[in-house]
Amino acid sequence: MKKKTIWFGLGLLVLLLAGCSQAPTAASTSVQPQEPTPTAAPTATAVAVVNYCVECHTDKDQLIQTAKPEVEVESESEGVG
């Protein structure tokens, strides 16, 4: 009986050691070479297209400065048109 116990203990120990030896390695911590961060595709320098018509005609102050003053001509018309 005593022998059986010793053999059982040894077997258990072997199993434990074997288990330890086959234990999965810790999750790989190896650093995978990362994909290089894609850099922005080289683009042409953005050229602002100025719409001069809109720029001026939406600018009240500019219009006030540049609007041609209207010359009021006194009408010679008389009566209802």
76 binds other proteins (CB under 8 A): yes
53 binds other proteins (CB under 8 A): yes
48 binds other proteins (CB under 8 A): no
CA distance 54 to 77: 38
Cβ neighbours for 66, distance < 8 A, ≥ 6 positions apart: 56
CB of 47 to other proteins, least distance (A): 14
Using CB under 8 A, which residues numbered 25 to 44 contact other proteins?
Answer: none
Say if CB 56 and CB 63 are below 8 A apart: yes
80 binds other proteins (CB under 8 A): yes
Three-state DSSP class for residue 52: helix
Closest listed residue to residue 9, CA positions, set 62, 17, 49 = 17
47 binds other proteins (CB under 8 A): no
Interface residue list for other proteins (CB under 8 A) = 50-58, 60, 63-64, 66-70, 73, 75-81
